[in-house]
Chain A
């Protein structure tokens, strides 16, 4: 789960990580009031969406599709600038490298004081899967794409790891600060900031904190100019406050609905709907469809606790996608029984008036009973015995493939 920059910075303040003064706004008048209250001549007007690449993005009018402004993060030198930029941002569509072509409607802005930048750094805290510990990664090259730095100038990236029980060791923080070339008060501030950020990472169950750029001002202070925070959803149970920072408009409506039903659904661009039990098998089903020349329309794992209701809902979600021309059901029964799935498939087909071709592959618990139920029903369902056969069949039925 991701949160907005303005929310992340609020959290930074709470943990003593230095950020500039700023105000969250939702309209042009609010942005102007924010400008007046900040008392800074130069401010940044920043679009708040969860995707990255905002600065280099482009704003479009959502109705006409006309380009409105280049750049989703603008530096305003006057009150008039603030008015112009906030008008161009608010309610318009921001397309960035990470949003895809469909973009995101911007309904939140952040108006922030300016500062004199001396140098831009990069700082991130994340989970290192291989070392099974929390990794702090910093670079002297901030404000640019970290993947490019990793590619072209890997020696500019410095890393330290937290001890799982002792946390981040001061020695390591000191040496990280040194590798970044920080001295004096800047170094002291950096070391303190690392401690605060690690404490936040742990206490708030983050999955990632990224500050790009983290700047040293001309006065030598260290300031988090940007803030990207991801939260570990598995820890939601111990953080009830997350309900208040979650922005549902940032998530795909259908994915939220699926989630509430215990389904895991991701929409893709193809035309073959998939309904599978298990995440690995669901991915493999998509892969095999592609292997035989088709294009999967979605990832869908119905989970181990699927019921007739959730399976019907899963069909409904698949069919809402207008691109879907056929459906492949692939079930390897373990706890889930294929006969139960068969009954659900028949009910769902009747209830939803299913018109597209349907191929079903059953294996595992009660697969023969399941197949018998499907074969005896009046609805035309193609039953197959292997995933390969299922994928070929559905690709063939919709007249695609090679």
Chain B
């Protein structure tokens, strides 16, 4: 099982690295959708092999909500404006993003070994940590609100993967609540992002929001 987890984790990291280097929003959303399907497939495998019906149900929810519904909703919100279709001015240049995102993977490994490893005793534990940090980096390195949202959901995916693998017995009602909240956040965020477009494409000139 740990080998499958390591393989899935490695694949997830590759997908997130692709997101870091990509500038087209639609492609990033599609990549996120693929990453969610991978997490769902892993949970399905876990649920079937360990005979845990809750985990199977969770994998179906993950596939439907994160793999299909959220990417579909986000793509629907995207209209063909230049500033929305691709990241025109990322906070950090693409070249620098590549270097930093690779360094993050190394940093996550070192951080995990010196902090959590002694308690968790799980060799692959640095994978979710790397994914969490990559998600956070995606949020701070981009101005495009949709990509920031993908960064947030990447962090959530990392947690689902981690928790599904280590603690598959977490009460189902809580998992369902988390997913429902995620749908709510995405729906509200979709509305807000739409309004941001109607108002302005430049979010720097807000004097009152400083200090």
Q: Do A and B come from one complex?
A: no
Write the residues of chain B forming the contact surface with A, with a CB cutoff of 8 angstroms.
none
Write the residues of chain A forming the contact surface with B, with a CB cutoff of 8 angstroms.
none
